[in-house]
Amino acid sequence: MKPGRVIIMSIALIGVLIGMAAFVNASNQKMMKDVQKAKDNKGFAVVELFTSEGCSSCPPADELIERIQEGNENKEIYIMAFHVDYWDHQGWKDRFSDHEYSVRQEQYAGWLNLSTIYTPQAVINGTREFVGSNGSSIVKAISNGLEEAPGAEVKLQYKIAQGKLYIEHEVTGDKKNTELVLTLVQKSAESKVMAGENSGRKLSHVQIVRQLAHVDANSKEEVVMTLPQDFTGKGWELIGFVQRNADGRIIGAARTGFQS
């Protein structure tokens, strides 16, 4: 799609109700077991959820990734929730939103040959996209990712000084025409929404992207992020993943936590 062309689409508005039954307890348990059946062979799955507090169809998707996160803590599943900003003028401004995250979603529209962008949308390993509440399809894609060997490895180190996060990084393996994407992630938060489609609701969030940076995978340049004022160390993590410039495929990922 053309840069800057944004069409707001709520799954409720377009009548797509895929995956709502995934939130029945028995179905949730089955989905978690499906992920857990994946072979332990150093595969990985990067899950990017594009969401918004202003979208009434997004809370079920947020709940889904929370369940996946909680049920698979020991697996190489890297979940990130990007709160887009194009819902912010619909009555409620999402405090976690950033235009840069909307731009990233538009980039996926180009890579995946989509005519528009919408919420909630989940992208797995940069190659498959689904309605964010479509639990069965998302879990299947995650399981497939866990059974595929990565093409690159990522090492991350950091130091914190004067409100800044200084990141040292190294990518080995297939890194031709790729970039390293770095995200600072807050593991959980809650918001009380006072207007818009979710007015009156208390929303729970997980794996919230608070900062985003890109660097050529061949670069040794230190990356510097400004830490949010509410950064505490505990309950946050740094995720880095290698992505091909041509088609968006993600070929390796890593994470590191912070000392409290």
Say which DSSP state 125 is in: T
Give the separation between CA 116 and CA 112, rounded to whole angstroms: 10
Give the separation between CA 118 and CA 232, rounded to whole angstroms: 32
Nearest alpha carbon to residue 97 among 196, 214, 219: 196
What's residue 40's pLDDT?
A: 54
Looking at the predicted structure, is the pLDDT value of residue 14 above 50? no
pLDDT tens profile 175-217:
999 999 999 999 999 999 999 999 999 999 999 999 999 999 9
What's residue 168's pLDDT?
A: 98
CATH number assigned to the domain with residue range 20-257, chosen from the 4 options 3.40.50.720, 3.40.190.10, 3.40.30.10, 2.40.160.40 = 3.40.30.10
Measuring CA to CA, how many Å separate 60 from each of 24, 52, 67, 101, 141? 11, 12, 11, 20, 18
Say which DSSP state 20 is in: G
